[in-house]
Amino acid sequence: MANDARLEQLKIEQDQAFNRKQDAYQRQQSSWEKLSSAKDKLNHAFDAKQRAYDDQERAWQHSQSVSDDNSPRIKYLNTAQETAYQNMKNAFDRASSAHDAHDGASAKSYSIEGHNYKAEAQGYVDERRRLVDECKRVRAQHEPYKAVFESTKIAFGRAKDEHDKAKAAHERANDDFRRAKDDFDDAAKAFQSRLIELKAENAKRKENNRAIAAKAGVPYQYRNNVYVSEDSDGTINIYFGGLGQPDGFGHGHYAMNSSGSVNYKREPFDPHGHQNFTDSIYWHKEKMSLDRDTGTFQTDNYISIIGDTNQKSKAHIAIDEDGNIVFVRDIGGEILYSRKNGIGYLPDNLDWSK
Amino acid sequence: MDKNKKECKNSELIKELLTCIDEVRKMTDHDRNLMGDYKNDTTLRYPQTKSEYFVDKISTLLAHSDLVSDENEPILDEMLGLAGQLDIDVNQPEVWQDLFKLSDDLRVIK
């Protein structure tokens, strides 16, 4: 995939959005753990409150039960005590009247009767006090349960506050995560969209390159993997068959001019050289001349690409009578060797394609 | 290319060739024989001097055309031989003079 600044930017944005999403996810997880912990505490507080309530309720019911059981008897004892008291009062009043009437026997009899009523009333009072004390004792036993229940109620309230705060924090974290996820999804979508676009462009470019390679006559097996470049003069260069990549080491190279004529053909791992130029673009002129300094003849070879006669880019290679190369100037005007002028040297690995 | 067109083109090329040679003829001996310092500066690319420029053009006109062929003037063939020498080294006054003479001959013939 060719480098694409937009794709690279979208990749950076996608990665950043992913990181933000991951951070938001971690925060969400952390808040969830806090909420879970708060929920556990809330549940424990609720259970404790319920247990305390039940204990308190049982104590209260017992207290009520005792109170309910004793209440009718207490009411009866109050009435009976009042009746005995009135009877006592009447007996003592009559004893007083009989005493005033000097009726000693009656006075004594009424007095005994009064004392009996007094004892009866006292008996009622004693029993009532015992019953009331029992009610008070049972009620007092309920108080600690009530206090415990109140305490668990407060603890539950605190746990609920903590839980509600944790829940709110978790919901915020959830919202943040959802937003981060949406952002990431958008970024991933934009990246994928551009990727698909580029793939389509690449596929189109590959198809175009394949068509160019086919037009140039590149061997079939290479056509799906060629590198194509265009020179400023419209010449299209097609590279293929290199190691690792089309224009890698040992690549083949075809050149096709703007008219569609292939004027250079080199198959993969074939040597460079003018033999690769097709006749349609390559001209060569050979001419003998006399080197007046040495008095020997030499053969001048002029080689260049076909163009108009004003072109100045031509290679010049001169060979003396003995077959020795005496002058080499490449097509770019670089004098590689001139025996006469003492310029350069004749390299062993001269690139004759130049 | 038919014969008439070819003759017409050759005529134009010869005219251009003679113009180039005349330009060199007008130059001073010093300028005409001045070659680029390729020995001391390997980054230089031919042609560097005005004289070399014209030699390059003359040799190209002669080499890259149908002017010099079996059926054409032996003068042009001889001129190409001289141009080949000058294309290697412009500092050859005698070769230049011979080239001027040939151009005069060519002008008379044409």
Instruction: Give yes or no for residue A176 having a pLDDT over 90.
Output: yes
Contacts B16 to A, Cβ<8 Å:
309
Closest by Cα among A86, A87, A106 to A96: A106
User: What does the pLDDT read at residue A186?
Assistant: 96
**Mutate which: B45, B53, B59, B64, vs A, most A CBs within 10 A:** B64
Confidence of residue A308 (pLDDT cuts 50, 70, 90): very low
What share of chain A in percent tops pLDDT 70?
A: 93
- Quote the CA–CA distance of A223 and A238 in Å, as a whole number: 10
Q: What are the DSSP calls for B5-31, one per residue?
A: HHHHHHHHHHHHHHHHHHHHHHS-HHH
pLDDT in tens, A178-232: 999 999 999 999 999 999 999 999 889 999 999 999 889 899 889 889 999 988 7
User: What does the pLDDT read at residue A347?
Assistant: 67
Confidence of residue B35 (pLDDT cuts 50, 70, 90): very high
| Helix H or strand E segment including A52 | helix A5-100
Instruction: Give yes or no for residue B29 having a pLDDT over 80.
Output: yes
User: What does the pLDDT read at residue A279?
Assistant: 58
Confidence of residue B95 (pLDDT cuts 50, 70, 90): very high
| Nearest beta carbon to residue B46 from set A285, A333, A344 | A333
User: Angle, to 10 degrees, between the axis of helix A5-100 and the axis of helix A104-216?
Assistant: 170
Helix (H, G, I), strand (E, B) or coil at A4: coil
| Nearest beta carbon to residue A316 from set B45, B81, B87 | B87
User: What does the pLDDT read at residue B6?
Assistant: 56
Angle at alpha carbon of residue A67, lines to A63 and A68, rounded to 5°: 115
Cβ within 8 Å, pair B81-A338: no
Q: Does residue B93 have a cis bond before it (omega within 30 degrees)? A: no
Contacts A344 to B, Cβ<8 Å:
42
Q: b or e along A227-254 (b: 16 or more beta carbons within 10 Å of the residue's beta carbon)?
A: bbeeeeeebbbbbbbbeeebbeeebbbb
User: What does the pLDDT read at residue B70?
Assistant: 46
User: What does the pLDDT read at residue A68?
Assistant: 94
User: What does the pLDDT read at residue B4?
Assistant: 59
Instruction: Give yes or no for residue A155 having a pLDDT over 80.
Output: yes
Q: Which residue has the higher pLDDT, B54 or A259?
A: B54
| Nearest beta carbon to residue B81 from set A283, A290, A327 | A290
User: Which residues neighbour A287 within 8 Å (Cβ) at sequence distance 6 or greater?
Assistant: A299, A300, A302, B63, B68, B77, B80, B81, B84
Q: What are the DSSP calls for B35-60, one per residue?
A: ---TTT-TT--S--SHHHHHHHHHHH
Domain ranges of chain A: 5-188, 223-270, 272-354
Q: What is the CATH number of domain A5-188?
A: 1.10.287
pLDDT in tens, A15-29: 999 999 999 999 999
Confidence of residue A281 (pLDDT cuts 50, 70, 90): low
Q: Which two tokens stand for residue A46?
A: 């609720």
* Residue A354 C-alpha, separation from nearest chain B C-alpha, in angstroms: 14
Contacts B61 to A, Cβ<8 Å:
309
Cβ within 8 Å, pair A302-B81: no
Considering the entire predicted model, what is its pTM?
0.45
| Phi, psi (rounded to 5 degrees) for A240 | -160, 160
From chain A, which residues contact B within 8 Å (Cβ)?
Answer: 283, 285, 287-292, 298, 300, 302, 304, 309-312, 314, 316, 318, 327, 329, 332-335, 338, 340-344
User: What does the pLDDT read at residue B1?
Assistant: 44
Give the mean pLDDT of chain A.
Answer: 90
Cβ within 8 Å, pair B84-A311: no
Cβ within 8 Å, pair B84-A318: yes
Amino acid present at A217: G
Cβ within 8 Å, pair A333-B85: no
Helix (H, G, I), strand (E, B) or coil at A292: coil
